[in-house]
Amino acid sequence: MSEAHLERDIVLKLGHQSQCFRICEYHKLRNQLHMFEEGFGHTAVELGPHTNKLGPELVLLKGVTASPDVLLGWLATPHMRGMCTRMYSLHPDAHPLQTKEDLLKELLCHPVPSDPVRLQCHPRSLEEYLQDGLPKWSFHPRHFGSVLHCVELDGLYHFALNSKRDSYLYAPPKEALARHAACCRARKKLEEVFTALGMLTQQFGLAIDIGAAPGGWTSFLAERCTRVLAVDPAEMNSAALRKNVTHLRSSLVACKHCE
Protein backbone atom coordinates (compact mmCIF):
# COMPACT_ATOMS: atom_id res chain seq x y z
CA MET A 1 0.00 0.00 0.00
CA SER A 2 1.38 3.41 -0.97
CA GLU A 3 2.05 6.10 1.60
CA ALA A 4 -0.75 8.26 0.24
CA HIS A 5 -3.28 5.52 1.13
CA LEU A 6 -2.07 4.44 4.55
CA GLU A 7 -4.93 4.38 7.02
CA ARG A 8 -4.95 7.36 9.38
CA ASP A 9 -7.19 8.88 12.01
CA ILE A 10 -8.01 12.51 11.26
CA VAL A 11 -9.09 14.93 13.99
CA LEU A 12 -10.82 18.09 12.79
CA LYS A 13 -11.07 21.23 14.90
CA LEU A 14 -14.25 23.02 13.83
CA GLY A 15 -15.66 26.43 14.65
CA HIS A 16 -18.74 25.35 16.61
CA GLN A 17 -20.03 22.22 18.30
CA SER A 18 -23.16 22.21 16.13
CA GLN A 19 -20.90 21.84 13.08
CA CYS A 20 -19.39 18.72 14.65
CA PHE A 21 -22.84 17.21 14.97
CA ARG A 22 -23.68 17.97 11.35
CA ILE A 23 -20.40 16.56 10.03
CA CYS A 24 -21.02 13.31 11.92
CA GLU A 25 -24.58 13.10 10.58
CA TYR A 26 -23.36 13.75 7.03
CA HIS A 27 -20.79 11.01 7.48
CA LYS A 28 -23.50 8.50 8.46
CA LEU A 29 -25.26 9.35 5.20
CA ARG A 30 -22.09 9.53 3.10
CA ASN A 31 -23.45 7.00 0.59
CA GLN A 32 -26.56 9.12 -0.02
CA LEU A 33 -25.17 12.65 0.21
CA HIS A 34 -22.24 14.36 -1.51
CA MET A 35 -20.37 15.73 1.50
CA PHE A 36 -17.71 13.00 1.60
CA GLU A 37 -15.80 11.15 -1.10
CA GLU A 38 -14.70 7.55 -0.78
CA GLY A 39 -11.83 7.06 1.64
CA PHE A 40 -12.95 9.45 4.37
CA GLY A 41 -13.11 6.83 7.07
CA HIS A 42 -15.60 4.29 8.38
CA THR A 43 -16.71 6.26 11.46
CA ALA A 44 -17.09 9.89 12.52
CA VAL A 45 -17.27 10.71 16.24
CA GLU A 46 -17.82 13.89 18.25
CA LEU A 47 -15.03 13.97 20.81
CA GLY A 48 -15.09 15.00 24.44
CA PRO A 49 -17.96 16.02 26.72
CA HIS A 50 -20.41 18.10 24.70
CA THR A 51 -23.94 19.34 24.26
CA ASN A 52 -25.50 20.39 20.97
CA LYS A 53 -23.91 23.84 21.39
CA LEU A 54 -20.90 23.55 23.70
CA GLY A 55 -17.89 21.26 23.62
CA PRO A 56 -14.29 20.93 22.41
CA GLU A 57 -15.43 21.26 18.76
CA LEU A 58 -13.50 18.16 17.68
CA VAL A 59 -14.49 15.41 15.24
CA LEU A 60 -12.57 12.18 14.77
CA LEU A 61 -12.66 10.51 11.34
CA LYS A 62 -11.45 6.95 11.90
CA GLY A 63 -9.77 4.90 9.20
CA VAL A 64 -9.21 7.60 6.58
CA THR A 65 -7.48 6.24 3.45
CA ALA A 66 -7.87 9.30 1.19
CA SER A 67 -4.57 10.74 0.00
CA PRO A 68 -3.30 13.97 1.57
CA ASP A 69 -4.06 15.85 -1.66
CA VAL A 70 -7.68 14.64 -1.66
CA LEU A 71 -8.10 15.37 2.04
CA LEU A 72 -6.65 18.87 1.79
CA GLY A 73 -8.69 19.53 -1.34
CA TRP A 74 -11.84 18.63 0.60
CA LEU A 75 -10.87 20.98 3.43
CA ALA A 76 -10.41 23.76 0.85
CA THR A 77 -13.99 23.45 -0.45
CA PRO A 78 -16.23 26.42 0.43
CA HIS A 79 -18.32 24.66 3.09
CA MET A 80 -15.33 23.11 4.92
CA ARG A 81 -13.15 26.22 4.60
CA GLY A 82 -15.70 28.03 6.72
CA MET A 83 -15.84 25.24 9.33
CA CYS A 84 -12.42 23.70 9.87
CA THR A 85 -9.67 25.70 11.54
CA ARG A 86 -7.19 22.87 12.24
CA MET A 87 -6.52 19.29 11.19
CA TYR A 88 -4.48 16.67 13.06
CA SER A 89 -3.31 13.53 11.26
CA LEU A 90 -2.63 10.61 13.61
CA HIS A 91 -1.52 7.01 13.20
CA PRO A 92 -4.26 4.68 14.52
CA ASP A 93 -1.78 1.99 15.64
CA ALA A 94 0.34 4.36 17.73
CA HIS A 95 0.10 3.79 21.46
CA PRO A 96 -1.30 6.87 23.28
CA LEU A 97 0.64 8.31 26.21
CA GLN A 98 -0.72 8.85 29.70
CA THR A 99 0.63 12.33 30.45
CA LYS A 100 2.18 15.28 28.66
CA GLU A 101 5.40 14.46 30.50
CA ASP A 102 5.35 11.02 28.86
CA LEU A 103 4.77 12.72 25.53
CA LEU A 104 7.80 14.95 26.04
CA LYS A 105 9.98 11.97 27.03
CA GLU A 106 8.90 10.12 23.88
CA LEU A 107 9.79 13.08 21.67
CA LEU A 108 13.15 13.56 23.40
CA CYS A 109 14.02 10.00 22.33
CA HIS A 110 13.10 10.82 18.73
CA PRO A 111 15.90 11.87 16.32
CA VAL A 112 16.02 15.64 16.04
CA PRO A 113 14.46 16.64 12.69
CA SER A 114 16.92 18.22 10.26
CA ASP A 115 14.39 20.86 9.13
CA PRO A 116 12.20 23.20 11.19
CA VAL A 117 8.94 21.73 12.52
CA ARG A 118 5.49 23.29 12.68
CA LEU A 119 3.61 22.55 15.89
CA GLN A 120 -0.13 21.89 15.79
CA CYS A 121 -1.46 20.84 19.18
CA HIS A 122 -4.74 20.56 21.00
CA PRO A 123 -5.00 22.17 23.44
CA ARG A 124 -2.80 24.94 22.09
CA SER A 125 -1.13 25.39 25.48
CA LEU A 126 0.65 22.12 24.67
CA GLU A 127 2.63 23.92 21.95
CA GLU A 128 4.44 26.20 24.40
CA TYR A 129 5.12 23.24 26.68
CA LEU A 130 6.75 21.23 23.88
CA GLN A 131 8.74 24.18 22.54
CA ASP A 132 10.24 24.74 25.98
CA GLY A 133 10.93 21.02 26.48
CA LEU A 134 12.56 20.39 23.09
CA PRO A 135 15.37 22.98 22.95
CA LYS A 136 17.29 21.10 20.24
CA TRP A 137 14.33 21.13 17.87
CA SER A 138 13.79 24.05 15.52
CA PHE A 139 10.20 25.29 15.20
CA HIS A 140 8.68 27.65 12.67
CA PRO A 141 5.00 28.28 11.80
CA ARG A 142 5.56 28.94 8.08
CA HIS A 143 8.92 27.62 6.93
CA PHE A 144 9.01 23.97 7.97
CA GLY A 145 9.76 20.53 6.60
CA SER A 146 7.43 18.52 8.84
CA VAL A 147 4.51 19.05 11.17
CA LEU A 148 4.09 17.63 14.67
CA HIS A 149 0.46 16.85 15.44
CA CYS A 150 -0.34 16.32 19.14
CA VAL A 151 -3.86 15.92 20.49
CA GLU A 152 -5.19 15.20 23.96
CA LEU A 153 -8.19 12.88 23.66
CA ASP A 154 -10.01 11.68 26.76
CA GLY A 155 -6.97 12.35 28.94
CA LEU A 156 -4.53 10.52 26.65
CA TYR A 157 -1.94 12.10 24.38
CA HIS A 158 -1.65 11.12 20.72
CA PHE A 159 1.05 12.41 18.40
CA ALA A 160 2.48 11.94 14.92
CA LEU A 161 5.36 13.61 13.10
CA ASN A 162 4.10 14.04 9.55
CA SER A 163 5.46 15.45 6.33
CA LYS A 164 4.69 19.01 5.30
CA ARG A 165 2.30 17.54 2.75
CA ASP A 166 -0.01 16.51 5.60
CA SER A 167 -0.32 20.02 7.04
CA TYR A 168 -3.48 22.06 6.78
CA LEU A 169 -2.97 25.81 7.06
CA TYR A 170 -6.23 27.65 7.63
CA ALA A 171 -6.26 30.76 5.44
CA PRO A 172 -9.61 31.67 3.81
CA PRO A 173 -9.24 33.82 0.70
CA LYS A 174 -9.60 37.52 1.47
CA GLU A 175 -12.28 37.94 -1.19
CA ALA A 176 -14.39 35.22 0.47
CA LEU A 177 -14.10 36.92 3.86
CA ALA A 178 -15.08 40.25 2.36
CA ARG A 179 -18.07 38.76 0.56
CA HIS A 180 -19.40 36.98 3.64
CA ALA A 181 -18.91 40.04 5.84
CA ALA A 182 -20.67 42.23 3.31
CA CYS A 183 -23.91 40.26 3.56
CA CYS A 184 -24.06 37.73 6.37
CA ARG A 185 -22.77 34.29 7.20
CA ALA A 186 -26.21 32.80 6.63
CA ARG A 187 -25.14 32.06 3.05
CA LYS A 188 -22.82 29.39 4.45
CA LYS A 189 -25.84 27.38 5.62
CA LEU A 190 -27.34 27.37 2.13
CA GLU A 191 -23.94 26.60 0.62
CA GLU A 192 -23.66 23.60 2.94
CA VAL A 193 -27.09 22.27 1.92
CA PHE A 194 -26.33 22.65 -1.79
CA THR A 195 -23.03 20.81 -1.29
CA ALA A 196 -24.64 17.92 0.58
CA LEU A 197 -27.24 17.52 -2.16
CA GLY A 198 -24.68 17.74 -4.97
CA MET A 199 -26.20 20.97 -6.33
CA LEU A 200 -23.35 23.41 -5.72
CA THR A 201 -22.20 23.63 -9.34
CA GLN A 202 -25.67 23.50 -10.93
CA GLN A 203 -27.43 26.49 -12.47
CA PHE A 204 -31.11 27.30 -11.93
CA GLY A 205 -33.80 29.62 -13.24
CA LEU A 206 -35.98 31.65 -10.87
CA ALA A 207 -35.47 31.71 -7.09
CA ILE A 208 -37.63 33.53 -4.54
CA ASP A 209 -35.99 34.48 -1.25
CA ILE A 210 -38.68 35.32 1.32
CA GLY A 211 -37.39 37.31 4.28
CA ALA A 212 -34.26 38.08 2.30
CA ALA A 213 -32.59 40.87 4.30
CA PRO A 214 -29.74 41.47 4.75
CA GLY A 215 -29.01 39.35 1.68
CA GLY A 216 -26.81 36.36 2.50
CA TRP A 217 -29.03 33.81 0.78
CA THR A 218 -29.91 36.22 -2.03
CA SER A 219 -26.22 36.71 -2.78
CA PHE A 220 -25.66 32.96 -2.91
CA LEU A 221 -28.71 32.33 -5.12
CA ALA A 222 -27.77 35.15 -7.51
CA GLU A 223 -24.57 33.28 -8.35
CA ARG A 224 -26.57 30.21 -9.44
CA CYS A 225 -29.91 31.50 -10.75
CA THR A 226 -30.86 33.55 -13.77
CA ARG A 227 -33.22 35.67 -11.64
CA VAL A 228 -33.81 36.15 -7.91
CA LEU A 229 -36.79 37.85 -6.27
CA ALA A 230 -35.77 39.06 -2.82
CA VAL A 231 -38.87 39.75 -0.70
CA ASP A 232 -38.32 41.77 2.47
CA PRO A 233 -39.48 45.19 3.71
CA ALA A 234 -36.07 45.79 5.27
CA GLU A 235 -33.09 47.27 3.46
CA MET A 236 -30.82 44.84 1.60
CA ASN A 237 -27.04 44.96 1.65
CA SER A 238 -25.78 46.45 -1.60
CA ALA A 239 -23.44 43.47 -2.13
CA ALA A 240 -26.50 41.23 -2.61
CA LEU A 241 -28.24 43.46 -5.14
CA ARG A 242 -26.73 42.13 -8.32
CA LYS A 243 -28.08 42.73 -11.80
CA ASN A 244 -30.24 39.61 -11.71
CA VAL A 245 -31.77 40.45 -8.31
CA THR A 246 -35.09 42.26 -7.88
CA HIS A 247 -35.77 43.53 -4.35
CA LEU A 248 -39.50 43.63 -3.57
CA ARG A 249 -39.41 45.90 -0.53
CA SER A 250 -42.61 44.65 1.01
CA SER A 251 -43.98 41.87 3.17
CA LEU A 252 -45.01 38.64 1.50
CA VAL A 253 -48.68 39.29 2.28
CA ALA A 254 -48.58 42.75 0.70
CA CYS A 255 -46.96 41.58 -2.53
CA LYS A 256 -48.59 38.17 -2.96
CA HIS A 257 -50.35 39.33 -6.12
CA CYS A 258 -47.24 40.96 -7.63
CA GLU A 259 -45.80 39.40 -10.73
Same domain, 238 and 162: no
Question: pLDDT band for position 21 (50/70/90)?
Answer: very high
Domain boundary among 111, 140, 166: 166
User: What's the CATH number where 201 sits?
Assistant: 3.40.50.150
pLDDT one-digit tens code per residue, 38-75? 899 999 999 988 888 889 999 999 999 998 889 988 98
144 vs 259 pLDDT, higher one: 144
User: What's the CATH number where 13 sits?
Assistant: 3.30.2130
Q: Which helix (H) or strand (E) holds 9?
A: strand 8-14
134 vs 192 pLDDT, higher one: 134
Same domain, 121 and 16: yes
pLDDT at 126: 96
pLDDT one-digit tens code per residue, 144-177? 999 999 999 889 999 999 988 877 876 655 555 5
pTM: 0.83
Q: Among positive and negative, which fits the CA dihedral 120, 124, 125, 128?
A: positive
Number of domains composing the chain: 2
Same domain, 128 and 233: no
Same domain, 34 and 137: yes
> CB-based burial of residue 90 (10 Å sphere; 0-12 exposed, 13-18 middle, 19+ buried)?
buried
Helix (H, G, I), strand (E, B) or coil at 65: coil
Average pLDDT over residues 221-243: 92
CB 34 within 8 A of CB 198: yes
pLDDT at 39: 93
pLDDT one-digit tens code per residue, 85-124? 999 999 988 899 999 999 999 999 999 999 999 999 999 9
pLDDT at 3: 45
Average pLDDT, the chain: 88
Q: Residue 142 belongs to what domain range?
A: 3-166
Tell me the CA distances in angstroms from 119 to 44, 59, 127, 134, 136, one per residue in order. 24, 19, 6, 12, 14
**Alpha carbon distance 101, 178 (integer Å):** 43
pLDDT at 1: 36
Residue 209 forms part of a structural domain: yes
Question: pLDDT band for position 4 (50/70/90)?
Answer: very low
Q: Beta partners for 118?
A: 147
Average pLDDT over residues 239-251: 90
CB 114 within 8 A of CB 91: no
